[in-house]
Protein backbone atom coordinates (compact mmCIF):
# COMPACT_ATOMS: atom_id res chain seq x y z
CA UNK A 1 0.00 0.00 0.00
CA UNK A 2 1.33 3.41 -0.97
CA UNK A 3 1.89 6.01 1.75
CA UNK A 4 -0.54 8.89 1.99
CA UNK A 5 1.08 12.06 0.66
CA UNK A 6 0.52 14.48 -2.18
CA UNK A 7 2.64 14.41 -5.29
CA UNK A 8 4.19 17.74 -6.35
CA UNK A 9 2.15 18.94 -9.33
CA UNK A 10 1.81 22.24 -11.16
CA UNK A 11 -1.66 23.87 -11.25
CA UNK A 12 -1.35 24.84 -14.92
CA UNK A 13 -0.79 21.28 -16.16
CA UNK A 14 -3.47 19.55 -18.21
CA UNK A 15 -5.07 16.35 -16.99
CA UNK A 16 -2.90 14.41 -19.46
CA UNK A 17 0.22 16.13 -18.10
CA UNK A 18 -0.75 15.21 -14.53
CA UNK A 19 -1.38 11.59 -15.52
CA UNK A 20 2.07 11.39 -17.14
CA UNK A 21 3.80 12.88 -14.09
CA UNK A 22 1.83 10.79 -11.56
CA UNK A 23 2.62 7.63 -13.56
CA UNK A 24 6.30 8.51 -13.43
CA UNK A 25 6.21 9.24 -9.68
CA UNK A 26 4.42 5.94 -9.09
CA UNK A 27 7.09 4.03 -11.01
CA UNK A 28 9.81 5.75 -8.96
CA UNK A 29 8.07 4.45 -5.82
CA UNK A 30 7.77 0.99 -7.36
CA UNK A 31 11.48 0.98 -8.22
CA UNK A 32 12.21 1.19 -4.51
CA UNK A 33 9.40 -1.02 -3.25
CA UNK A 34 9.23 -3.92 -5.70
CA UNK A 35 11.22 -3.17 -8.83
CA UNK A 36 10.11 -1.95 -12.27
CA UNK A 37 10.68 -2.84 -15.88
CA UNK A 38 13.51 -0.66 -17.20
CA UNK A 39 11.89 0.02 -20.59
CA UNK A 40 8.54 0.97 -19.01
CA UNK A 41 10.31 3.27 -16.57
CA UNK A 42 12.32 4.99 -19.30
CA UNK A 43 9.15 5.44 -21.40
CA UNK A 44 7.45 7.05 -18.39
CA UNK A 45 10.49 9.28 -17.88
CA UNK A 46 10.31 10.41 -21.52
CA UNK A 47 6.62 11.27 -21.01
CA UNK A 48 7.55 13.14 -17.81
CA UNK A 49 10.20 15.10 -19.77
CA UNK A 50 7.53 16.13 -22.31
CA UNK A 51 5.69 17.81 -19.42
CA UNK A 52 8.81 19.01 -17.57
CA UNK A 53 11.43 19.65 -20.26
CA UNK A 54 13.69 22.01 -18.30
CA UNK A 55 16.29 20.72 -15.86
CA UNK A 56 15.61 23.35 -13.20
CA UNK A 57 11.92 22.40 -12.85
CA UNK A 58 12.79 18.70 -12.91
CA UNK A 59 15.26 19.19 -10.05
CA UNK A 60 12.75 21.25 -8.03
CA UNK A 61 10.01 18.64 -8.48
CA UNK A 62 12.52 15.91 -7.66
CA UNK A 63 13.43 17.63 -4.38
CA UNK A 64 9.75 18.15 -3.51
CA UNK A 65 8.93 14.53 -4.33
CA UNK A 66 11.85 13.28 -2.24
CA UNK A 67 10.77 15.45 0.71
CA UNK A 68 7.28 13.94 0.78
CA UNK A 69 8.13 10.37 -0.25
CA UNK A 70 11.75 9.76 0.70
CA UNK A 71 12.39 8.46 -2.83
CA UNK A 72 14.86 10.04 -5.24
CA UNK A 73 13.87 10.58 -8.88
CA UNK A 74 17.53 11.18 -9.68
CA UNK A 75 18.75 7.86 -8.28
CA UNK A 76 16.14 5.82 -10.15
CA UNK A 77 16.75 7.62 -13.46
CA UNK A 78 20.49 7.18 -12.99
CA UNK A 79 20.04 3.45 -12.28
CA UNK A 80 17.77 3.05 -15.31
CA UNK A 81 20.25 4.75 -17.62
CA UNK A 82 23.26 2.84 -16.26
CA UNK A 83 21.67 -0.57 -15.88
CA UNK A 84 21.93 -3.33 -18.42
CA UNK A 85 19.29 -5.50 -16.76
CA UNK A 86 15.60 -5.41 -17.57
CA UNK A 87 14.50 -4.65 -13.98
CA UNK A 88 15.34 -1.70 -11.78
CA UNK A 89 15.21 -2.14 -8.01
CA UNK A 90 16.81 0.17 -5.52
CA UNK A 91 16.44 -2.17 -2.57
CA UNK A 92 13.67 -0.35 -0.74
CA UNK A 93 16.18 2.09 0.76
CA UNK A 94 14.60 5.48 1.12
CA UNK A 95 16.86 8.52 0.81
CA UNK A 96 15.55 10.42 3.85
pTM: 0.90
Q: Are 29 and 89 in contact (CB under 8 A)?
A: no
Q: Are 87 and 33 in contact (CB under 8 A)?
A: no
**pLDDT of 92 strictly over 80:** no
What is the DSSP-derived secondary structure letter of residue 63?
H
The predicted pLDDT at position 87 comes to 93
Average pLDDT over residues 26-52: 96
Q: pLDDT tens digits for 44-89?
A: 999 999 999 999 999 999 999 999 999 999 999 999 999 778 999 9
pLDDT band, very low/low/confident/very high, at 4 (cuts 50, 70, 90): confident
Amino acid sequence: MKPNYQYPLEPDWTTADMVAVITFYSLVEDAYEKGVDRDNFLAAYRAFKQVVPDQMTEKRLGREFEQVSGYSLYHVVKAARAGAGQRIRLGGVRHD
